Structure 1
Amino acid sequence: MSKPIPQSAQRDRVRKTVPALVAYTEGVVYSDLWERTDLSKRDRSLVTVAALVATYRPEQLRTHIGRALDNGVTQEEIAGLITHLAFYAGWPAAMSGAQALTEVLEQRGA
């Protein structure tokens, strides 16, 4: 039995425009890649958040920070990841990551 695919207002918004992209996201990324057992979902979340901070993808970053928190990554670990990446991915990318983390935490009332 497959796990439910997380809801996304962003995906729903573009579904009519790029239906194949959304189908791949739901059918491959969330139904296959995220369900593999070679990495835990917690570790996958850490890797994904790091990649999104480093490549300056703030829209997707907010979603994946929330997913990381849901997968057991702590606020302190995400803050440490962002701080660490300032020296490897650049200060602006890290500051944008910090803004995204702050927004997610504020939305969650943390």
Structure 2
Amino acid sequence: MVKKITQTAGRTMLGGFAPEFAHFNDDILFGENWNNQDIGIKTRCIITVVALMSQGIADSSLKFHLQNAKNNGVSQKEIVAIITHTAFYTGWPKGWAVFNLAKEIWQINEGDLPYEDEGMRAHVKEMAFPIGEFNEAFAEYFTNSIETW
């Protein structure tokens, strides 16, 4: 079962001042639209980052959506490729602005895993003790050779 996305920022920030806008934000945009299962949450996060970048929005709302993208599986390498690709279509200065925010969210090579298969990468990320880089440090103490792994 997919976890339902809930949002209360609209009511928290604007509930008393603009209650109808808060309703649209929390109940329609995030309550209905973000919970639509026709596209995956990771894809939805990428689309949102690209849409905000294309408009030149490089404020706290984009930073929130960058963090949300990271939380939903967008790696450092993926966000770099996404921003770079989008910058060719939306403008180079917008790319620079978004990279400045993205560097606050991701570290260089963060979350990089040695698996080409996306399914394996996703599986490893969910493990309590993820599989890391291959370690040969104590290979001399074992009879099994590396080639048989």
TM-score interval (norm. to shorter): 0.7 to 0.9
Partner residue of 1:50? 50
Q: Which residue matches 2:63? A: 62
CA drift of 1:16 comes to 2.8
Cα separation, partners in 2 of 1:104 and 1:17, compared to 1, 3 Å: farther
Pairwise CA RMSD of aligned residues? 2.3
Q: Distance in 1 between matches of 2:18 and 2:102?
A: 28
Indicate the residue corresponding to 2:98 in structure 1: 97
Alpha-carbon contact 1:54-1:94 (below 8 Å) kept = no
Aligned residues: 105
TM-aligned CA distance change 1:63 to 1:11, over 3 Å: farther
Give the AA of the match of 2:81: G
CA distance in 1, matches of 2:68, 2:11: 15
After TM superposition, the runs of 4+ consecutive aligned structure 1 residues lying more than 3 A away are none
2:21 is matched with 21
Gap runs ≥5 in structure 2: 112-149
Choose between structure 1 and 2: higher helix proportion.
1
Give the structure-1-normalised TM-score: 0.82
Give the share of equivalent positions with the same residue, in percent: 28
Deviation at 1:13, TM superposition (A): 3.1
For 2:76 and 2:63, locate their aligned partners in 1 and report how far apart those are by CA, in whole Å. 13
